[in-house]
Every structure is written in C-alpha cells, then in structure tokens.
C-alpha cells in the first residue's frame, strides 16, 4: 500500500517539542511534505535556528517515517523561522532585527563582555544571523575581543555600515574613537551616541542583536532600557554577595521598565583543579540560585573559572571558537540554546497590553 500524507503526519505526531509540550505536527513545524513513491521529503521549520534539540528532532523524524510500510528513503531538511518579539512597544526601531538581547551586570569585572561576545558567537554557530552592539561607551571591549578595528564605512545618507568578524555584524564606539583615545563625555553625549547606534546603523536582517551593556544602572544603561526594543535581558554576576547585591539592582531596573528578564548567568562559578580534578567554589556557592529564587527568575548557566577564557578574548578568538569542547565552551553554547529557547517561548505568548502599569524612570 502506498504511503499517504496522513500516514506520515500520524507517524510524526508523537514527536513533541519539549518547551511547548505539543506535537511538532500540531505546532505546524512540518512543511513542504512530498511523497514520490518510496521517498518521503519534508522540512521541519523551527522557531529559532539556535534550537538545541534540532538534531534530535531530525533523527526522530527520520526514524519514525522510515518505519512506515512502503517508505524506503526519508529526506528531512531542518529550517527555521525566528519569531520576532511581541513584548516591545518600540517596533519601528531596528526594524530588521527580530530579537534584541541585553546582557547586563550590576557592576564591572564580572565577565559581562565575555559572556556577551561568546553568547553572540554561540548563537551564530548554531545557525542564527547575529549582530553585537558594544554599548559600553567608556570601556569598549568588542574591538579587542573580536580582533577588529578601524572606522566603519558611512553611506551617502550618513548611515554607518557594521563591521564584521566571525560572521557577526558589529558596532562599537571603539571603532570611532580609536584604541587609546579616552571617551570623556557627559551624559547627553552618551545618550546621543547610543541613540545613533540604534537608529543610524544599517543592521542587516538579524535573528538576534546582542547588546553588551555598560555595567551598573547609570545613564547609558538606563537610556538603552528605555530606548531600545529589548526582547529580554540576561544578568551576569559572580558568586560573591557583593556582586549579587548589584545584580539584583540591575535586574529590578529591567523589571521596572517592563523588560523580560530571561535569567541570571553566574560566571566564575567554580574552578576544576588539574591536579585533583575536583570542583572548587573559590568565590562562594549557591548565591545565584538564592538570588534567582528570591527574584523569581532562572539561573541560565553556571560558567566555570577557566583561565584560557581570558587569553582567548585577549587574542581575538573567544572560547566558543577557540575551545568549544572545553567546559566553558560547552556551557556557553548551551547558554545560547537556552536563551534562544526562552525567547521563542516568550514570543509565542500574546503581546501585553501596552501603556498600562508601566513605571518609567525619569532621568534628569
């Protein structure tokens, strides 16, 4: 008996998306189903190219359809249609960007830029189109960490064209000010350049734009939370109580301006000794978990203290590229999948009713 489209869909129906808790058939993921004799071909269209379970979906789908009588060959193509954020009231800003992810910290020195750069690269390695905007006006890190410099090209319409490195679209004040030139600006000038980065840069069609925010909750960070169409925020901290206190302040800032907080990343969470192969919690233990529980968010990742993470950033080839199979590399790639998955779930929810119960923070 010849296999039918209904047979194929019934075979695929038991495969469930673990986040939506629904069948990939009922979710409408199956596209371009064709049957030619004993050959069955179809696509599985995911909600993000950075889906961490796409290989499992492909293998399960191939096995399920190949088990049908009359099927000799199964061709499964994995595609993605990234959903744009429905949780921003600034849809006209960055129109070519589907999701804007803020990576923030309550204080400096916790590895925020390292997480931002590696998160962007990991999303890119998982198949997404990604940009990275260095919003740290006073201490830009992106030119060094991605080994790229020089001023960007400017169109006749005075729009800046992003630089590129490792497949990422990039913009940083470091490209404009130079390596050694200090940025000695007051608040209004900082506001101006941030708004220019958001409105006067020709970002391409991006699935994700990662913003490396300045540390703390000062002028620049506040401008970004109120001006940028943020889809969600990731808070980076370390296990020390002092870092966690500041991380809570940053998290509450996002909550006050109604930006969804995707969760906390605890950097330098532990160190694995080469000699004894044991985990050592040098800076304390359990702080991020306690803070996340108190604030009602999730710990997205606990990243190990790995010495070559620093040297990888300094050399211009971050850990996700230079050591993807190291503990830190694996944790960062897993973090990217988690962030993409949480955004897909968030974007599947109906948009909020805008203009109600929004507490704006007024700047002097």
Please check whether residues 23 and 122 belong to one and the same domain: no
Please check whether residues 253 and 130 belong to one and the same domain: yes
Please check whether residues 26 and 169 belong to one and the same domain: no
- The model's pTM is 0.87
Greater model confidence, 110 or 274: 110
If pLDDT is split at 50, 70 and 90, which confidence band does 364 have?
very low
pLDDT for the residue numbered 355: 44
Please check whether residues 145 and 225 belong to one and the same domain: yes
Tell whether the torsion through CA atoms of 47, 111, 296 and 252 is positive or negative: negative
Greater model confidence, 81 or 1: 81
Shortest CA distance to 254 belongs to which of 232, 228, 229?
232
Q: Are 316 and 147 in contact (CB under 8 A)?
A: yes
Domain boundary (48, 80, 112) is at 80
Whether 75 maps to a domain, the answer reads: yes
**pLDDT tens, residue by residue, 148-189:** 988 889 999 989 999 999 999 999 988 876 655 555 555 567
Residue 147 CB neighbour total at 10 angstroms: 14
**pLDDT tens, residue by residue, 114-144:** 999 999 999 999 999 999 999 887 778 899 9
**Residue 173: strand, helix, or coil:** helix
**Residue 361: strand, helix, or coil:** coil
Shortest CA distance to 323 belongs to which of 336, 306, 335?
306
CA atoms within 13 A on the CB side of 116: 32
Whether 311 maps to a domain, the answer reads: yes
**pLDDT tens, residue by residue, 315-348:** 899 999 999 999 899 999 999 999 999 999 988 8
Please check whether residues 41 and 107 belong to one and the same domain: no
Q: Which two tokens stand for residue 111?
A: 């590895």
Please check whether residues 219 and 134 belong to one and the same domain: yes
Please check whether residues 64 and 143 belong to one and the same domain: no
pLDDT for the residue numbered 358: 39
Q: Where residue 18 sits, what CATH number does that domain have?
A: 3.30.300.130
Whether 216 maps to a domain, the answer reads: yes
pLDDT for the residue numbered 186: 57
Whether 225 maps to a domain, the answer reads: yes
Whether 89 maps to a domain, the answer reads: no
pLDDT for the residue numbered 91: 60
Q: Which two tokens stand for residue 77?
A: 């193509």
Whether 176 maps to a domain, the answer reads: yes
Please check whether residues 76 and 103 belong to one and the same domain: no
Query: Rounded to an integer, what distance in angstroms lies between the CA atom of residue 127 and that of residue 58?
Result: 15
Tell whether the torsion through CA atoms of 112, 118, 121 and 123 is positive or negative: negative
Task: Return the DSSP state at 201.
Answer: B
Please check whether residues 68 and 213 belong to one and the same domain: no
Please check whether residues 170 and 287 belong to one and the same domain: yes
What is the tally of structural domains in the chain? 2
Whether 13 maps to a domain, the answer reads: yes
Please check whether residues 48 and 121 belong to one and the same domain: no
Greater model confidence, 252 or 179: 252
Whether 46 maps to a domain, the answer reads: yes
Query: Rounded to an integer, what distance in angstroms lies between the CA atom of residue 120 and that of residue 132?
Result: 7
What is the phi/psi pair of residue 199, to 5°? -110, -20
Selection from 67-76, 221-230, 354-363 with the highest mean pLDDT: 67-76
Domain limits at 219?
A: 97-348
Please check whether residues 70 and 157 belong to one and the same domain: no
pLDDT for the residue numbered 362: 46
Calculate the average pLDDT of the chain. Answer: 85
Q: Where residue 224 sits, what CATH number does that domain have?
A: 3.40.50.300
Does position 357 have pLDDT exceeding 50, yes or no?
A: no
pLDDT for the residue numbered 359: 43
Q: Are 138 and 184 in contact (CB under 8 A)?
A: no
Domain boundary (80, 115, 132) is at 80
Domain boundary (55, 80, 105) is at 80
């Amino acid at each position: 008996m010849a296999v039918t489209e209904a047979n194929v869909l019934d075979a695929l129906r038991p495969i469930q998306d673990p986040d939506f808790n629904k069948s990939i058939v009922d979710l409408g993921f199956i596209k371009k189903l064709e049957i030619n004799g004993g050959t069955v071909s179809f696509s599985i269209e995911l909600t993000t190219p950075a889906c961490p379970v796409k290989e499992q979906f492909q293998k399960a789908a191939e096995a399920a359809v190949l088990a049908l009588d009359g099927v000799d060959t199964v061709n499964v193509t994995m595609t993605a249609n990234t959903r744009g954020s429905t949780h921003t009231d600034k849809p006209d800003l960055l129109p070519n960007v589907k999701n804007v992810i803020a990576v923030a910290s309550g204080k400096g020195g916790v590895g925020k830029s390292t997480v931002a750069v590696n998160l962007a690269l990991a999303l890119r390695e998982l198949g997404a189109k990604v940009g990275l905007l260095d919003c740290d006006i006073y201490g830009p890190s992106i030119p060094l960490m991605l080994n790229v410099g020089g001023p960007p090209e400017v169109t006749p319409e005075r729009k800046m064209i992003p630089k590129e490195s490792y497949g990422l679209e990039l913009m940083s004040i470091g490209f404009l000010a130079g390596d050694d030139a200090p940025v000695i600006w007051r608040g209004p000038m900082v506001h101006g350049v941030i708004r220019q980065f958001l409105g006067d840069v020709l970002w391409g069609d991006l699935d994700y734009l990662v913003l490396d925010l300045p540390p703390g909750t000062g002028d620049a960070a506040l401008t970004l939370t109120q001006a940028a169409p943020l889809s969600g925020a990731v808070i980076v901290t370390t296990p020390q109580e002092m870092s966690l206190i500041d991380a809570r302040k940053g998290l509450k800032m996002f909550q006050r301006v109604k930006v969804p907080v995707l969760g906390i990343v605890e950097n330098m969470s532990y160190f694995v000794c080469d000699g004894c192969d044991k985990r050592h919690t040098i800076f304390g233990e359990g702080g991020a978990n306690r803070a996340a529980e108190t604030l009602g968010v999730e710990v997205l990742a606990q990243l190990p203290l790995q010495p070559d993470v620093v040297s990888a950033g300094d050399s211009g080839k971050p850990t996700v590229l230079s050591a993807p199979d190291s503990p830190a590399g694996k944790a960062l790639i897993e973090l990217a999948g988690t962030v993409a998955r949480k955004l897909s779930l968030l974007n599947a929810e109906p948009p909020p009713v805008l203009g109600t119960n929004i507490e704006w923070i007024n700047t002097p």
